[in-house]
Structure 1
Amino acid sequence: MILMSLILFPSAVFVLAGKSQLIEEFGNQYRDVGPLSESREFQQNLLEQQKKFQCCGLAQGYMDWGHDIPDTCECTGSATSNPCVELNTKSNSVRMVYEKPCLPYLMEDYEWFVTVFGGIAMAFVLLWMLSVVLSIVILCKLCQKEDAPAVVYHTGEN
């Protein structure tokens, strides 16, 4: 148990201390995805995130999609929380799409996940270490020899 505590504690501290580096690495991975219209396996998840956060694209907004901007990028009326921008399409019609990219929202979600996971890991490690300390205390108490006082029976007769 002691050995496991020595492994788990630095791991949990590393996750919490390196949270900003983990989040930055997460953002860098998504910045390097390339044109979104070419990576089909990534598109489905991003389309769901665009609906959820009312955003478009990753790092550069709607420009990440190139000429194939999906319907999930379209502003739907005045109930949107994010600003919209006008685009002229090939058919000379005006299309309103979300201006802000999704990467800041994705990084915020990832930061929340890392914080919760790190907190749970730290709580688990602290409980584990508490059990180690209590086990050591119990073992020390068991090893101590206490002189038991002699028991004297009194029958009540003189």
Structure 2
Amino acid sequence: MLYATLKLLHILSIVVWIGGMVFAHFFLRPALLQLPPPQRLPLMHGVLQRFFSAVLVAIGVVLVTGLWMIGRVAKESVQAGLSFNMPLDWTLMATLGLVMMAIFGHIRFALFKRLSKAVAAQDWPAGGAALGSIRTWVSVNLAIGLVIIVITLLMA
């Protein structure tokens, strides 16, 4: 029961992260392009601030639950007298997940900081540039996230 609960939390956290990127990239951003920069950038800043806070929590949940599930299977293998060899799909999922987390760190702690400063200064060209960089890296993370989903579903 504990394993199933942790797996559920793991997947729900990923749904929040990937789903949020899909929503922001394909639905929110195009709709906001109708607004002028002095309205669009502060609104997008507020949305991203809330979303990035949720992603930080989701990342924490993904890390804790993922490590616990891998550790549990490894422990059970060793207790049964077997060696533990992590399956290839788990290895790819974990590796690409860590890459996504590193990219998110760059987005949140470097690019979003630039956006925050630009919005506070009402420097709309700098804010637009920061938002463009965020969009590019979110696209990369979204692509990696989709690759992870495909790998885990097709290799399982």
Same fold (TM over 0.5): no
Structure with the largest fraction of strand: 1
Larger Rg: 1
Report 1 or 2 for greater relative contact order, CA contacts < 8 Å, sequence distance ≥ 6: 2
